[in-house]
A = this chain, B = another copy of it.
Amino acid sequence: MIVMAEGAAVVGMNSGQEGKMSYANNSSFQKAIASATKQARQEMAAALYRSKGRPASMAIANLGCATGPNALLTVTDAVEAVLAECQQSNGSNSNAVELQVFLNDLPGNDFNAVFRLLPTSPLAATGRCLVSAWPGSFYGRIFPEASLDYVVSSSSLHFLSSPPPLYHDNHQLNRGRIYISSGSPEVVLDTYAAQFHADFSAFLRCRSPEMRPGGLLLATFVARRTSCPTAHDCYIWDLLADALMDMAAAGLVDEEQVHAFNAPYYSPSPDDLLRAIDNEGSFSVRTMRLFEITRRHLIITSSNKVDQQEMEEELLPRQLAIETACTIRAVVEPMMRNHFGWADMDALFSRYCLRLEAYYLDKDTRNKDDITNVFLVLEKKQHHNCY
């Protein structure tokens, strides 16, 4: 997922050229998040196909598809669910539905890498999919009028269209931090929340004419449970800010540049979401479910040897720190490079990794890598007032 600010991309995943640090090779956590909602997404895809009277074609979109294997994951889930439903009723595949699969991300996304996966993908194997890519920011119009039935967006909507305007009279308002922190001044939370409200409202306003009545929008992204963020809601960015300030103290980066950097990111509360949805007016909420996701079980194998379990337990904080640092690096490196202009991020991310390890070793936050996500399902109303 890449987000534009006044024409310039400010959020983009690391491309395939970054190799070991590429998003394609560091997106297993995003895959785990998608897996958590797979069954619900598939049931809703099948139910939508039924409720539309088993139409001859259905259009499925992925907004902020990014690159690598995840780009096709959630649309493949939907396609498989619809085809299974179709086959169940037809008895054979002969009159199967035609599925239009629309992929979206910014023009700078690595779509080539996604297209090269297509010929050998499960989508191609169905023989029923027409796949296309629609480059552009999803905070603007992307698709033709009334062209979409089922829209998924995974780990994308927490990215803002641009960093919030946190300066006043040439003075940076979020000094030493790069996101909301539990100790940050009220203006920081308010400015972030206002930016999210504007962006998420624009997102809904642009999708509204693109979606057919009764169509579903299924989005999963980072969120929080409370209006006032907890310290753990902010630790990912707090520790990265600490690592940046370490770099400044060591003379490796200009401290003013750290003060001036604010991540174009926001993890909304349920209230934030409901306010924007209500304000826009053309969608009703079918599901809003918060859930926690951790990579602990991805790291700990299901070994039944007690020795191995103990060893893994011992190594877990370090493993969690390494994996988290890689995930965050693949996502934030392009935006940091844009702001700080460094060619090599190793110095920053090795500091970050040490701080993450300390966090996972601390008795109060021992191995606590849980991230809250929201699974939000909106239905396009049959009729709604014009905005």
Give me the interface of A with B, judged by CB distance under 8 Å.
Answer: 7, 56-57, 98, 100, 102, 107-112, 115-116, 118-119, 130-136, 141-145
Contact = CB atoms under 8 A, between A and B. Distances in A.
A145 B111 contact: no
Contacts of A143: 130
Secondary structure of the A contact surface, majority rule: mixed
A57 B145 contact: yes
A199 to B, nearest CB: 19
A111 B108 contact: no
Contact of A107 (B57, B102, B116, B130): B116
B57 A144 contact: yes
Q: Which of A7, A116, A130 has the most chain B CB atoms inside 10 A of its CB?
A: A130
Contacts of A145: 56-57, 98
A134 B142 CA distance: 15
B57 A119 contact: no
A379 to B, nearest CB: 23
A118 B135 contact: yes
Contacts of A132: 102, 132-135
A132 B115 CA distance: 13
30 contacts: A56-B145, A57-B144, A57-B145, A98-B144, A100-B144, A102-B132, A107-B115, A107-B118, A108-B115, A108-B116, A109-B115, A110-B112, A111-B111, A111-B112, A111-B115, A111-B133, A112-B112, A115-B133, A115-B135, A118-B135, A130-B141, A130-B142, A130-B144, A131-B134, A131-B135, A131-B136, A132-B132, A132-B134, A133-B133, A133-B135
